[in-house]
Amino acid sequence: MTLNETLLEPVDRAAPGTPLLQIRNLEVGFKTQSGFVKAVRGVDLTLNAGESLAIVGESGSGKSTTAQAIIDLLPGAGQVTGGQILFEGQDLTGFSAKQMEDVRGSQIGYVPQDPMSNLNPVWSIGFQVEEAIRANGGAQGRKAIRARAIEVLKEAGLSDADQRLKQFPHQFSGGMRQRVLIGIGLSARPKLLIADEPTSALDVTVQRVILDHLETLTRDFGTSVLFITHDLGLAVERAQQVVVMYQGKIVEAGPSAEILANPLHPYTKRLVAAAPSLASRRIQSVKTATRDEITISAEGAAEDRLLARAEERESAAPGADLIQVKNLSKLYKIRQGGFKTSDLLAVNDVSFGIKKGTTTALVGESGSGKSTVAKLVLQLESITSGNITFDGREVGNLTGKELFTFRRRVQPVFQDPYGSLDPVYSVAHTIAEPLKVHKIGDGKSRLARVRELLDQVSLPASMMDRYPNELSGGQRQRIAIARALALKPEVIVLDEAVSALDVLVQGQILELLADLQAELDLTYLFITHDLAVVRLIADEVCVMQKGQVVEAATTDEVFSNPQQEYTQRLLEAIPGANFTFGR
């Protein structure tokens, strides 16, 4: 039996209760140029009234397709080809378009994943909220609809709701936009709310606030929640029942605490091992044990590697700083219309050092200044005051050839691998481009270097002729890392390099980065909002808030004894902060 066949063999758990939603043997497929593709195969699940259920799995597992099938919002090429979707005993698969319109919104609410792409940028927030209220029959008459829209935004936790109605999506933060979508989804007091990755693009602290508020609203309204996520730690923390999907099938289902404490299926065990939020807590527990107390198995191998690396970090002798940042500040002039400007101090008197061959993480919420520091280190922005030295040279004074050489030695990897790769360039062209820019080698030697780099990031040479749109997110990020390695740099600045990836792919990229660091003696500046990820890769941590470093220490010190309230809040916001792991 192959690995995939093993992973597709389901395990059974009992889940008693009175059903609101029952899905029986659901089959969903898509018509493609190469034929009909089954995306969901024989799915069975039950969600009880007043309860919450999470569907967990990586991209392509079928979890979002299952959710979209419930409310008949499959993309044009998608169709339900078999099974039943019973809502309060009625089979929705037999409903007409008009009947589904009466159910969708008023009976079953929906919160989509990306608030920016799901809110129309040319319509005001008020227009869009009022449109949803009108469509769902939530109020009659212009004044009543406007009053209900203000109430919806207030319920969603937005202050000055009457003024917010006049604003547009681009004037809202990510968290505020997500609140609007939650408000719209709950505006008609539905019996069921489907939340499809509702916080995947948000900082952990904002994520916690949004999910806490969602829990409060659904509890007050008596609404059941179907929660779609790729993060098992988040699912276990937020749902009473968990369903794990893999390649269109359910492979494990049961009470969330039981799934976490005793995962039965190999794929579920992989999700538990890969989730940074869970791995971070697991490291903390295993670090208090002796090696003899830790059980090493196929599923525990990654855990053991993490523990070993933590021990290596603790025992490593401190070296000299390769990069030193001293009293760094960055002031922006913000235009306010006409000739008026205001000052924005994005980075304020920041100091830290990075030792050769180690990883220093800058952690903080959006707007904390961490990405601005990364741009200053890379010399993509000019320094207002303070200085940055690299290998003894002040980088702010470098010009011409010196700056060209510096950028050969210090390379970036950005957050969005699709956005940072030119869609018209093949993989080979993308990776070889830095070699051409720096006039290194000829065509034959560059091609050989491309093959070598693909091997280093664990990709086959056959990918050389592919284009970004033909690659998965994880493959694209591996290509971005290979391009960064092309010039054999000493430092790589990773700006949210894994935040857009599924947990399994995220774990693979983190493992790859750790392996490359050990093999090539690389130094990393790692920018992230997620302390759970930091726990797996960083030696030193600098916590940033409002442009300043408010806490700096070793990773173990930050996790075991955080000094600042802000750092404590970041740690508490990690999904599964209260989980414990047996030995």
- Render 89-100 in DSSP notation, one character per residue: TEEGGG--HHHH
d(CA 264, CA 426): 42
- Give the whole-angstrom CA distance, residue 203 versus residue 504: 19
Is residue 453 in some structural domain?
Answer: no
pLDDT given for residue 296 in this prediction: 32
Q: Which amino acid is at 97?
A: A
* Number of structural domains found in the chain: 3
- Is the pTM above the cut of 0.85? no
Residue 136 falls within a domain, yes or no? yes
Identify whether 474 is part of a domain. Answer: no
Taking only the tens of pLDDT, the chain with its 583 residues reads: 444 444 555 545 444 457 899 999 999 998 877 778 899 999 999 999 889 999 998 888 899 999 999 999 988 778 999 999 999 999 999 999 899 998 998 899 999 877 777 899 999 999 999 999 988 876 678 889 999 999 989 888 888 888 889 899 888 877 788 889 988 998 888 999 999 988 876 777 878 888 888 888 888 888 999 999 888 888 888 899 999 999 999 999 999 988 888 899 999 988 887 777 666 555 554 444 433 333 333 344 554 555 555 556 555 555 688 999 999 999 988 776 667 778 889 999 999 999 999 999 999 888 889 989 999 999 999 999 999 999 989 998 898 999 999 999 999 998 777 778 898 999 999 999 999 999 999 999 999 999 999 999 989 998 899 998 888 778 888 999 999 999 999 999 999 888 767 788 888 888 899 999 999 999 999 998 888 888 888 999 999 998 999 999 999 899 989 999 999 988 888 876 555 544 3
Q: What is the pLDDT of residue 23?
A: 96
Sign of CA dihedral 343, 542, 457, 317: positive
Can you give the pLDDT at residue 315? 56
In the sheet with 35-48, reading across from the earlier edge strand, the strands are 35-48, 19-32, 78-87, 90-91
Distance CA 455, CA 475 (A): 13
445, part of any domain: no
Q: Please give the residue range of the domain that contains residue 386.
A: 321-425+488-572
Q: Are residues 250 and 346 in the same domain?
A: no
CATH number for 235: 3.40.50.300
b/e string for 564-573 if b means 16 or more Cβ within 10 A?
eebbeebbeb
Domain for residue 297, yes or no? no
Q: What is the DSSP letter of 295?
A: P
Answer yes or no: do 519 and 413 share one domain: yes
Residues 77 and 24 in one domain: yes
Whether residues 328 and 228 share a domain: the answer is no
Last residue of a domain, one of 187, 202, 233: 187
In a domain, 471, yes or no: no
Dihedral sign for Cα atoms in the order 457, 460, 461, 462: negative
Non-local CB neighbours of 439 within 8 Å, separated by 6+ positions:
none
- 28 and 91, same structural domain? yes
* Cα angle: 518, vertex 419, 207; to 5 degrees: 80
Query: Last residue of a domain, which of 135, 153, 187?
Result: 187
Q: Are residues 337 and 387 in the same domain?
A: yes
Q: Quick one: 8 and 47 in the same domain?
A: yes
CA–CA gap between residue 450 and residue 182 (Å, rounded): 46
Q: Tokens 């970090």 label which residue?
A: 313
Q: What is the 3-state secondary structure (H, E, C) of 351-413?
A: EEEEECCCEEEEECCCCCCHHHHHHHHCCCCCCCEEEEEECCEEHHHCCHHHHHHHHHHEEEE
Q: Strand 52-56: give its sheet, edge to edge.
A: 108-111, 192-196, 224-229, 52-56, 241-246, 249-255
In 3-state terms, what secondary structure has residue 475? Answer: helix
Q: Does one domain contain both 89 and 231?
A: yes
**Phi, psi torsion values for 482, nearest 5 degrees:** -60, -40
* Domain boundary, last residue among 153, 168, 187: 187
- 506 and 406, same domain (yes or no): yes
In a domain, 35, yes or no: yes
Assigned token pair, 289: 């044990």
Whether 301 is covered by a domain: the verdict is: no
Based on the fold, state whether residues 337 and 420 are members of the same structural domain.
yes
Kindly state whether residues 256 and 332 are assigned to the same domain: no
Nearest to 559 by CA among 340, 328, 288: 288
Q: Looking at the structure, do residues 225 and 265 belong to the same domain, yes or no?
A: yes
